[in-house]
Structure 1
Amino acid sequence: MKKLQLIYIALILLFLSCNQEDEQSSNLRIEDLKYGRGTTGHGDNQIGYAGVDLHLEAQVYGDELASEVFVTVESLTDTSFVLFDYSQYYEGRRNTFIHEHPVIPVYFDTGSYHVELTVIDQKGEKAVEGGELIIVPVIQFLDVELEGEIIAGETITIAFQLHGLNVLKDLYIKLVDNHDNEIFSNFYDFTIANTNIIDFNDRIQIPTDLPAGDYFVKAIATDAKSNSVTETFNF
């Protein structure tokens, strides 16, 4: 009888010990995850750019040493996916601060993505934190306002805010026909402004000899790093 009682007590102690180990091993966690891209290279705005590095940082806590650390970026609208493995830099470290700059693939389209940081410790416990990432063009045309009609002799007004990741260099405003043949082109130099935000507003005279037909306006903006973005305006 005593042997049975001792076995029973030993089993209870073993069960409690296992539970305590499980509770301790689940202590792995990720806190203060921040990611994004500002004009200085760092940011917490959940915005990224194709072909540009993304700032990502987080604090990892846990009783065990880290074994694996990786970041994934996955499209919410198509099959685009990329994995960045940083295990070699954090393996064997405890309560570590993670700071990385993964480069978003240049072929990623603009749109909604999910970014995720995964940490696995040497006991196999896993912690995951993530959130939405919006990939936008390196140059954006915001708050666009158009007035007038593309008719011979008329005047059209184009207004928008140009917002660039880098300093903006110049802008072309082109009138083209439905075969993309250029009718005329206006050039605007932003070199002296030396800024990444331009409030553009101009009145453009349509030639008096413009034949009747379908036309539209193309705006081509370029930054100091030779990135170029084209926007089409239909009046």
Structure 2
Amino acid sequence: MNTKTKLMKSNFKFLALIAFFGILLNSCSSDDDASSPSLNAPEITNFEYGEGSVHSTDQVAFKGSDIHLEAELNAEAVVSSITLSIHAHDLPLADGEVEWDFFQEYSGSNYQVINPTFHEHVDVPTNIPSGEYHIELTVIDELGNSTEIEGHLEILDSIILSGFSVDAAVAKGSDFHAEFMINALNGIHNITVDIHAHGLPVGAGEVEWDSEIIFSEGYHGLTDVEFHEHIDVPATAPAGEYHITFTVEDENGNTKSYETHIDVTAS
């Protein structure tokens, strides 16, 4: 056999070996793929949230209280982290209020497992605007797969005043009528009515009228009640416009006020 023929046979054997190992490696890779299929992203089910004190699912919470949140997480791979975001869009701010943009990552050992149940309570600040908030829950597993679910939450004042009816004018020496509805999540502590004027001239026999009246009997501890009172106006009060502020304080020290005016007439 000549040298050229030997060289050709040698090259052929070398190429055959390369092809054999290539097929073998591809077969092993295929076997690995078949035995280790990719895992699905986590699934979030039964996501519920609402007033925390009663584990409500009505998607409403109150300032100064807390929010109950719960969800079932179906995860084929171990959960790496859970993040919760609560924020609003362009809610008007009243005096003393600030924007609330809540973000929290939960990565404790009770969550870094397969198929955990998410259950948390989040405190709602007292100094944020009431209104509609956007809520997002995101779950990420250890493979980097992620799933997100979202919804909306209505945040209300812990004290809600409505249905005001206050006399617009009253003769001095008489009384005026005032009524409104009170819904106080934490129970009513008391109701204060502040009445005063600014710069009214005080005539002969008259006395400046600046009054603060506190009502508690019949209201203290109640959560849902109608304020209905008749308030006396001294016969000695100067005639003119008076400013009235109704302030409801609950058992947690939260307050809600309503302001109006009344004209006191000579007769």
TM-score by length of 1: 0.78
Distance 1:191 1:124 in 2: 59
**Pick from 26, 41, 49: which aligns with 2:62?**
49
Contact 1:72-1:83 at 8 Å conserved across structures:
yes
8 A Cα contact 1:152 1:211, kept in partner: no
For the aligned residue pairs, the C-alpha RMSD in angstroms reads 3.6
Displacement of 1:214: 3.3
Give the Cα–Cα distance (whole angstroms) in 1 for the partners of residues 156 and 183 of structure 2.
11
Match of 1:163 in 2: 183
Deviation at 1:134, TM superposition (A): 2.0
Q: Distance in 2 between matches of 1:148 and 1:195?
A: 25
Report SS of the residue matched to 2:108: helix
Judging changes above 3 Å, is the alpha-carbon distance between structure 1 residues 132 and 95 closer, same or farther for their aligned structure 2 residues?
same
Report the identity percentage.
22
Kept after mapping to 2: 8 A contact 1:59/1:96: yes
Tell me, in whole angstroms, the C-alpha distance in 2 between the residues paired with 1:182 and 1:94.
Answer: 70
**What residue is the counterpart of 2:214 in the other structure?**
187
Larger Rg: 2
Q: Hey, what does 2:228 align to over in structure 1? A: 201
Shift of 1:198: 2.0
Q: Would you say 1:25 and 2:40 are equivalent positions?
A: yes
Hey, what does 2:164 align to over in structure 1?
Answer: 145
Letter in 2 for 1:34: E
CA distance in 1, matches of 2:44, 2:198: 54
Describe the superposition over 1:121-162 as per-residue Cα deviations: whole angstroms up to 9, x where unpaired.
Answer: 1122222222222222221113x2314213443543222221
Residue equivalent to 2:100: 80
List per-residue Cα deviations over 1:191-216 (Å, max 9, x = no partner): 88533222221222333444344333
Counterpart CA distance in 2 for 1:167 and 1:140 is: 12
Query: Is 1:114 aligned to 2:141, yes or no?
Result: no
One-letter amino acid of the counterpart of residue 42, structure 1: H
CA separation of 1:92/1:108 partners in 2, compared to 1, >3 Å: closer, same or farther?
Answer: same
4+ residue runs of structure 1 moved beyond 4 angstroms?
A: 190-193
Structure 1 residue corresponding to 2:238, chosen from 206, 211, 214: 211
Q: 1:86 Cα shift?
A: 1.6
Equivalent residue for 2:119? 99
Code of the aligned partner of 1:157: H
Aligned residues: 225
Task: Give the corresponding residue for 2:202.
Answer: none
Pair 1:223–1:190, CA change in 2 (3 A): farther
Which of 46, 58, 83 is the aligned partner of 1:70?
83
Going from structure 1 to structure 2, the CA distance change for 1:216 and 1:131 (only over 3 Å counts) comes to farther
Determine the C-alpha separation between the residues in 2 that align with 1:166 and 1:156. 29
8 Å contact kept, 1:150–1:215: no
Assess if the C-alpha contact under 8 Å between 1:69 and 1:90 holds in 2.
Answer: no
**8 Å Cα contact 1:69/1:87 also seen in 2:** yes
Tell me how far 1:189 sits from its aligned partner: 1.0
Distance 1:167 1:43, change over 3 A: same
5+ residue gaps in structure 1?
none
